[in-house]
Chain A
Amino acid sequence: MDDAIIRLVDVHKHFGRVAALNGINLEIGRGQVVVVIGPSGSGKSTMLRCINHLEKPTEGHVYIEGVDLEARTTNINQTRAEVGMVFQQFNLFPHLTVLDNITLAQRVVRKRDKVERDRVGMELLNRVGIPEKAGAYPGQLSGGQQQRVAIARALAMNPKIMLFDEPTSALDPEMIKEVLDVMQDLAQTGMTMVCVTHEMGFARAAANRIIFMDQGMVVEDTTPNDLYNNPQHERTRLFLSKILH
C-alpha cells in the first residue's frame, strides 16, 4: 500500500518563537539506513523525535507504515512499540537490572511470558556482546556497555524501525567503536534505521543514504559517497570542511 515505511509531509515544529523544523518532506523506504547530519540546532533531533511522536509537529503529518500519527484514532503506544529509539544519554532505567531493563516493556506492552522475554533478553545481550552483565545495574556499566544495553532494550520489542539520536556523542572515544559495531551489524540485518550521528566512518560503511539538514530544512539528500565527493550546496561544503578537518 505504501512503499515508504516513514513519511513526513510538510512537517513544521515551533518551540515558542523558535522554528526547529521548517517544512520537512521525507520518505524513507523499508530497510534503508539513513544518516542525518547537520550543525547543532538544525533540527535533526527534533525531526527524529517527531518520527515517534516524542515531539508533536506544529503542522504537517508523520506517517509510519501509512498510519498518521496525528490522527485521533491512532494508538500512539501501539505505533511507538514498532519504533525503537536509542538516546544520546542512554536513559536506561537505573532501578532495574540490565535484563529487567530489556524485559520490562516486553512484559507490560507485549505481554510476553517470563520464559519468552528472558530468552529474548539474553539472546539480545549475547548479540550486543555483554551477556555476563544481565544481573548488573546500569550504574555499574561503562557508557559503551550502557548504550549497547539501550540498543538491546529497543530491539526487544521487535521494532520495524530504529531511531538513533546521537548514540555515541556522550561516549568516551574508546567506547564509540563497540557501539558503532553493533549498529553496523544491525544495518546488515535489513533493519530500517535513521541515525543522527557525525560518525562519518559509520555513514560510509553502513548508510545507503545521507541527509544534510540546516535551519530546520533538508538541504541535501544523497548517498554518503556523493556527499563527500560532490556536495551540491555551499552550506554542505562548509559543514563538511568543519567536521572532516
Chain B
Amino acid sequence: MSLSKTDSPKSAIRSRLSFSEQMRQFPWWAIIMIVALGISLFGMLGNDNYRAALNFIINPPTSTEMAFGIGIRNGVMMTLVTTLTAYVIALVLGLLLGIMRVSKNPVLFHASTLYVELMRGVPMLVLIIWIGFVVVPFLRQIFGQSFPLTGVQGAILGLGFGYAAYLAEVYRSGIESIPRGQMEAARSLGMGYAQAMRYVILPQAIRRVVPPLANDLVALLKDSALVSVVAVPEILQMARLFVSRNLRAIEGYNAAAFLYLVVTLIFIIVVRLIERRWNTNG
C-alpha cells in the first residue's frame, strides 16, 4: 500500500522508476553524512578545545617532532602520503604476485603463494609492528645507521607489502575470470605466453578489477591508522599526542574520527565516480 500520491500505478508506468525506487537510488546516506559532518564542523569550530585538537592534528606546533626522514607535519597529509605510498607499492607488487599466482612455473607459483599466505596469515597490525620494531632495527644493526630506512618508513612500506598480498588475489581472480579461449586465440596467432598476457589477458583482467581495486584503496586509507603504533605522525597518532599533552580525550579522538570520515567520504565519492565511468564503458 503506497502512502504517497505520486506512487499510483499510473505514474509508475509513466515514470520509468517508481517513487520508492527513486528514493532508494538517491544517495541519502551521503547527504545525511555530509550534513552531520557540516554540523559537527560548525560545532567544533565554536569550541576552543575542539579547535585546538583540529589545529594540533592539521598544523601542529613546530616543537612537535617530525617523523624520522619524512618532513611532513600535517597529520592529514601524512595519512594521505602513507595511504598513497602503500597503495602504489601494493598495486605494482600485487600485479606481479597475481601474475605469478596463475603461472604454470612451480617456482613462481609457490613463491608467490607462500608470500600471499604468509602476509594474509599475520594481522596487519602485527606486520607493521614487526617491520617497524624488528626488521628495520635489525637491518640497521647490520648495515649501520646509514641504512636508508627508518622504522616509520618501514612501517609504511610494510602496509604496502601487506596489501600487495590482498591485491594479488584480486588480480588473480581477474585474470582467471577471462575465458580460456582468449589465451588460446592469442597463442594460436603465434604470440608467446608473456605477449598474450600483456596484450590480451591483462588489459581485460585489469579493467574488470578496477572496482575492487578502488574499494581496497578506501580500506587501505582506514588501515593507514595502524601505522600510528610506530609513531608515524598521521591523524590518529597526532590525536593521541594531543590527548596525552592536554588530557582531552573526547575532543582529540572526536576530531580524529571527524577527519577520517571527511577523507574517507571524499575517497568513496571518487571511487564511486570511477566505478560508474567504468560500468558505462562496458
Q: Which chain A residues have a beta carbon within 8 Å of chain B's beta carbons?
A: 52, 54, 77-78, 80-85, 87, 89, 91-95, 104-105, 108-109, 139, 150, 153-154, 157
A82 to B188, CA, bound (A): 9
What are the residues of chain B within 8 A of A84 when measuring CB–CB?
A: 188-189
A95 touches B184 (CB 8 A): no
A94 touches B188 (CB 8 A): no
Minimum C-beta distance from B251 to chain A (A): 52
* 7 pairs of residues in contact across A and B, judged by CB atoms under 8 Å: A52-B188, A54-B188, A84-B189, A91-B185, A105-B190, A154-B189, A157-B190
A109 touches B190 (CB 8 A): yes
What are the residues of chain B within 8 A of A109 when measuring CB–CB?
A: 189-191, 195
A155 to B196, CA, bound (A): 18
A52, A82, A87, A94: the one contacting B204 at CB < 8 Å is A94
A81 touches B203 (CB 8 A): no
Report the interface size for chain B: residues with CB under 8 A from the other chain: 19
Minimum C-beta distance from B245 to chain A (A): 55
What are the residues of chain B within 8 A of A82 when measuring CB–CB?
A: 190
What are the residues of chain A within 8 A of B192 when measuring CB–CB?
A: 77
Interface string of B184-222 (1 = CB under 8 A from A): 111111111001000110011001000000000000000
- CB nearest to A100 among chain B residues: B199
8 further contact pairs, Cβ within 8 A, besides A54-B187, A54-B188, A91-B181: A54-B184, A77-B191, A80-B187, A87-B181, A91-B184, A108-B191, A108-B195, A153-B189
What are the residues of chain A within 8 A of B187 when measuring CB–CB?
A: 54, 77, 80
B182 within 8 A of A: yes
- CB nearest to A106 among chain B residues: B189
Minimum C-beta distance from B188 to chain A (A): 4
Instruction: Please judge, given known A-B contacts A87-B181, A89-B181, whether A95 and B188 are in contact too, CB under 8 Å.
Output: no
What are the residues of chain A within 8 A of B204 when measuring CB–CB?
A: 93-95
A52, A77, A93: the one contacting B182 at CB < 8 Å is A93
B147-202, CB < 8 A from A = 179, 181-182, 184-192, 195, 199-200
A150 to B195, CA, bound (A): 19
B282 within 8 A of A: yes
A80 to B195, CA, bound (A): 14
- CB nearest to A88 among chain B residues: B181
What are the residues of chain B within 8 A of A150 when measuring CB–CB?
A: 185
A93 touches B185 (CB 8 A): yes
What are the residues of chain A within 8 A of B199 when measuring CB–CB?
A: 104, 108
Residue of B179, B188, B199 ringed by the most chain A CB atoms within 10 A: B188
Residue of B182, B185, B203, B204 ringed by the most chain A CB atoms within 10 A: B185
A80, A89, A108: the one contacting B188 at CB < 8 Å is A80
What are the residues of chain A within 8 A of B203 when measuring CB–CB?
A: 95
Minimum C-beta distance from B236 to chain A (A): 41
Minimum C-beta distance from B199 to chain A (A): 6
Minimum C-beta distance from A220 to chain B (A): 28
A21 to B282, CA, bound (A): 41
Minimum C-beta distance from B200 to chain A (A): 6
What are the residues of chain A within 8 A of B179 when measuring CB–CB?
A: 89, 91
What are the residues of chain A within 8 A of B191 when measuring CB–CB?
A: 77, 105, 108-109
B181, B185, B190, B200: the one contacting A77 at CB < 8 Å is B190
A83 to B188, CA, bound (A): 7
A94 to B187, CA, bound (A): 16
What are the residues of chain A within 8 A of B188 when measuring CB–CB?
A: 52, 54, 80, 83-85, 154
A77 to B193, CA, bound (A): 9
A95 touches B195 (CB 8 A): no
What are the residues of chain B within 8 A of A78 when measuring CB–CB?
A: 190
Minimum C-beta distance from B118 to chain A (A): 33
A87 touches B189 (CB 8 A): no
Minimum C-beta distance from A193 to chain B (A): 15
Minimum C-beta distance from B273 to chain A (A): 22
A78 to B186, CA, bound (A): 13
What are the residues of chain A within 8 A of B200 when measuring CB–CB?
A: 93, 104
A80 to B186, CA, bound (A): 10
What are the residues of chain B within 8 A of A54 when measuring CB–CB?
A: 184, 187-188
The 6 closest A-B pairs by CB, nearest first: A81-B190, A105-B189, A91-B185, A91-B181, A85-B188, A109-B190
- CB nearest to B207 among chain A residues: A95
A157 to B188, CA, bound (A): 10
A95 to B204, CA, bound (A): 6
